[in-house]
Amino acid sequence: MLKGKTAVITGASTGIGKSIALKMAEQGANIAVIYIGDETPAIDVKNQVENFGGKAEIYECDVSNYEGSKTVCEKIIADFGSVDILVNNAGIIRDNLLLRMSEEDFDAVINVNLKGVFNMTKNMSRSIMRSGSGRIINIASVSGIMGNAGQANYSASKAGVIGLTKTTAKEFAGKNVTCNALAPGFIATDMTANLPQAVIEQVSNTVPLKRMGTADEVANAAVFLASDMASYITGEVIRVDGGMCM
């Protein structure tokens, strides 16, 4: 489905980003793996992509830094020649009740989760437009649709991602570039791995499908949006949440 395409994926060394990278590689894409921090998981993703027969390179980048993002985007374009798909997945959480939340924690989440999407989209936009059928996929959250107690910063950042997605879709449509968002619900990732079992069961019971989702289930939706099968879909927010936010 993605043979010969090049995909840039932020936060691609773990969790949902890793699953998206491997699913896209399985479908023939070359992958630029963007990570921050520990290089070891990123190298593992690179090796797995290459096992599928694709090209892969790793790049450390704090996506909240505009100049750093610009430099990495230029390096990726130089290494791969062109970019067809951008997946803005990098995100952090700094949960707390609004009255207890520090300005630092609020700003940190907004800067990575929202400004990071702007930084990467702006700096990669010209290459994606030149592809003639570019795809931008932003990872939002059901928290950005319905809000969530203890996540004022995270919910605000993901609501912003949804608004940015729709604006990008309108502005880039003339170049045959689509932009859509995925809104995962309660997904089993590193972020949820340390939750007490009682909490997992309690939240799972609020989901109509009565279970957590998997990173692969989010990745499957990302592959679809990146493919030619989704060529007439843009500006959409597709929930991958087991019916949590109906």
- Residue numbers annotated as active site: 154
Contact status, residue 204 vs residue 198, Cβ threshold 8 Å: no
Helix (H) or strand (E) holding 61: none
Q: Looking at this protein, which amino acid is placed at residue 20?
A: I
Q: Kindly state the tokens that stand for 243.
A: 């019916």
- 171 vs 71: CA distance, rounded Å: 24
Secondary structure (3-state) at 30? strand
Contact status, residue 8 vs residue 85, Cβ threshold 8 Å: yes
- 152 vs 94: CA distance, rounded Å: 9
**Residue 194 CB partners (closer than 8 Å, separation 6+):** none
